[in-house]
Amino acid sequence: MPLFQWYHSHPSFLKQFSVTYGWFIVSVHFFHLHLLMKKLRDLYGPSDGIVGEIFDTLGRYFPIHFTHPKGEDVDVTRDELSRALMFAFTSTPLFEPFAIPLLLEKLSSSLPLAKIDALKYLSHCTLKYGADRMEKHAVAIWSSLRNIVFSSSQEPVLSFDCESVDGIGFSDDDIAKEALTVLEKLFMQNSVLFLNLIVNDEDINLIFDNINSYMNFSNISLQSKRKIHGVGCILATAARSTVFSCNRIFESFFPCLMNTLGISILKPSDNMSPSGKHAVSGTLNFGALYLSVIVLEACRDLTVGSAQVASFPTHETFCCMLERFSASLARDFISYVGRGNETSMADVFLGVKGLQILATFPGSFLSMPESLLEYILTALVSIITENFQGTLSWNLALKALVNVGSYIEKYHESKKEISYMVVVEKIGSLLTAAKCMMPYSRKLEAVSEVGMSGRNYMLKVVPRLEEAIFTNLSDLYVNGYMGPAENTVRLLECYTNKVLPWINNSEGFDEVLHLFVINIWNQIECCKHFSTRTEEKDIFEATMKTMKFAVSNCSETSHNAIVQKAYAVVSSCHFFSWNESAVNHVEMRGLDISHELKLSIRDRWVLSLFASVIMAIHPQTRLPDVRATLWLFMEMLLKGHVPSAQALGSLVNKFGSKANGQSTLDEAMDIIFNTSISHADSAYGISMGIGDKSTMNLADLCFGASNSRLLQINAIVGLAWIGKGLLMRGHEKVKDIVMILLECLSSKGGRHLRQDSGQENCEQDVSSSVMTYVADAFHIMMSDSEVCLSRRYHANIRPLYKQRFFSTMMPMLQALIIKSDSLFQRSVLCRALAYIMSETPLVAVLGEAKKLTPVLLDALLMFSKDNLDKDTMYSLLLLLSGILTDKSSQEVVIENAHIIINCLTRMVSYPHMMLVRETALQCLVAMSMLPHSRIYPLRTQVLQAVSRALDDPKRSVRLQAVRCRQAWSSSPVTT
């Protein structure tokens, strides 16, 4: 039975089909049509009548306009529906006479989404319908696509900066990009036909006929810029599609461009000065230059991107033409960069980009003489070393040089690598080139960027950077380094923040980093006296950070050797007295911190660098003497050396639970908490019955047993870092630390201390500053540290440790807050709980929103009094925002609406952080959705606060204030 007879015997088919699709809820209906049309075609053959009627119904849904009420659960998106309809369009080539005219019609739509959909459908139809069916639409399709590309609304049409040196095209215009995608598929499907359309196109030929009128970029009209850019993109798309197309484009247009630029065939050896200061025979013509560069880029992309480079013929037309003109092009590209004020920004960009393109052509296509590549590379290096005052040309040249290096490394161009290595050496030598007047920051940028373009280059650059570091540090140790201190800091920061992260993602650098760290220790070991210049905080902190980063990137084997070396240097210092007899003395009588120890500048450097090493090592690293190391850090943390406390926290985090020739965690904890500590100082007025000394342990010091507030604070800070290490690994000993801290917080009149014979019990009030430090200890324990105890530094981190700690601490601190009868003590307890809440994931806090909201609001008001805890305050405000927007927390929000709004209206004027003011206004917008009866009495108060925010110096705050005022001025009446 023919298809039309089947259709007439089933008159309800089309009607039922339309009804079915009238519901149009799921895309499966289109998929069913896709299968149906295939089945009908296979069984009965074509019938224009029924096909036309079916497509008429189908075409009514294009473009997809899919909306549904908010809150309605629909498991389908517009993109899914559109894709299903596209498959239905291409389910049979019989739809071609109806689909293509419809799509071409939609290309003239004023709706951008309709144009994009039409182009996507057209691209898919091109592949499915085949070249024969698409040929009759070729002229109409070409005309539509050309007009879309020429009329791109992107402004500026052409972008010339160092970011766009990687590629020229339509960066933001999705319609133009989609049109070029369709065009590329058409070229690949029917090259001859569409290339003829391009070559014979009047608009394109008009551009080339008037090319001499596009001399200067700044004098070209916007419409002409669009057309030039459009022509360039069309030619590039054609050249990039196939080798045949590339040859045809070069044959048709490249000679004209060369003639316009006045470029003749030149041998690489003819009068080519690397400096680029020679006179150039070419004519400065932006239009011709731009089109030449964009066609060259497309040609290069075709050769580089092809997976079958080896199978290409070796003497293609475009390759032969490029070989003849490459030397002349290179010379003229350099001249465009070096003409000074005569050259516009666009010409500089195109000149540098042209050099990069020539240098990155595969050697199998463009037989470039070695001298020509060296000429190009030398020119780029000259721009970097001589034109460093020109920001654009300098950045472009450096980016181009990096891209060339990355290409050579990626595609294993061994011949070109030899020439590029010379460039790497020249750039690396800038660090020690005293005659080069380039700013030191730019030297570092050039060296690091070139090094990061490939592994082999980094292996050349790293020794240069390390040599500069050793030279500066050595001069700093001995002579105080006569140069600017910021240069040494910049050098260390460059090595730490740019080079080391890159090395961490590469292989083969372990030995390099190992030797770097060992050499730093060798330098310090040889230098016995440091200059006072080394006391500068920036240099000191930058060196510590570099040490940690370098050690953390080394292997476990290297860590063992580094720790041995560092320990050897530390043990030779006068402050380190942990020989065998001293160790026995400590074990018998405890740690004596009675004597006042003044560390020299060198001692502080050695101790801090040793602590940095300990923070960064792997957990499996073996320490030379664990007990001596623990006692050293304990003594130094009690004397206020924070890196020692951080190192001690790192040690307890990484110690193993089983003995493997080293002390276990339990043994280390026994040493830390049970070692007797002796302290005596007449300035503190201590006389506790053991001669003139008092023996205590770390917990006693936290309770104030020494009568020294400074010593008590140091002990609390040390305990916090130890607790952090234990908490992160999930060790139960952290409970003991928590109990010590809570006892300090809950102490009313001080803790009962040791009794002397014949004396009454002594009590000492825990001062307000000490209690604040105790609260801050919880912040140390819960916050993420960039200094130590992170994944970068190989810390043991148990999943969900923050949630567990929050669940444990919340009821304990809440109970203490309720029992507290002192306003100050209550505020400190709130501070401690606030620190814990602010670092806990929101999902864990929401379950306790009812209990925590009052405490959260108290903490916000407390932190708003100064700018010391603005980051914590912002974290708490985000927490409150999460509670306000959580449906399950609405009851507690309504219950505390008055207090919440009073708090937020104060936050709107918080002067120390813009994000706090902005978030407070966002929270007030959320509060406006509460029942009218709860918020109406506060409406005037909110609007007054918001009116002040309308004059905020920050625009984002003012925008939120406008939104908030609108929400409260027209707040819905809900019940």
Mean pLDDT by runs of 10 across the 975 residues of the chain is: 41 40 42 51 54 76 67 64 81 81 84 85 86 87 89 57 55 80 88 90 90 85 86 91 89 90 65 45 77 91 66 69 84 76 74 91 77 89 85 88 92 88 92 83 93 92 92 78 76 94 88 93 86 75 93 91 94 71 52 67 91 94 88 89 94 76 77 79 35 66 81 92 94 92 71 38 55 92 92 93 93 88 84 90 88 88 81 89 89 90 90 91 90 85 90 90 88 47
Q: How far apart are CA 662 and CA 682, in angstroms?
A: 40
Task: Tell me what pLDDT residue 587 has.
Answer: 54
Are 91 and 55 in contact by the 8 Å Cβ rule? The answer is no
Q: What are the structure tokens assigned to 665, written together? A: 């965690």
Q: Report the C-alpha gap between 682 and 53 in whole angstroms.
A: 106
CA 764 to chain centre: 51
The structure tokens 């030039």 sit at 228
Write the burial class of residue 378 (CB in 10 Å: 0-12 exposed, 13-18 middle, 19+ buried). Answer: buried
Alpha helices (H) in 480-555, listed in sequence order = 485-494, 500-504, 510-526, 537-552
- The pLDDT assigned to 481 comes to 56
For 695, the 3-state DSSP assignment is strand
- Shortest CA distance to 413 belongs to which of 355, 367, 472? 367
Verdict on whether the full-model pTM lies above 0.75: yes
Q: What is the pLDDT of residue 16?
A: 40
* Three-state secondary structure call for residue 669: helix
Per-residue pLDDT, 406: 92
Give a three-class secondary structure readout of 826-849: HHHHHHHHHHHHHCCCHHHHHCCH
Helix, strand, coil tally for the chain in percent (to 5): 70, 0, 30
In the sheet with 677-679, reading across from the earlier edge strand, the strands are 591-592, 677-679, 694-696
Q: How far apart are CA 305 and CA 844, in angstroms?
A: 50
Under 8 Å between Cβ of 678 and 819: no
The per-residue pLDDT for 166 is: 56
Give CA–CA dist 188/131, Å, rounded.
10
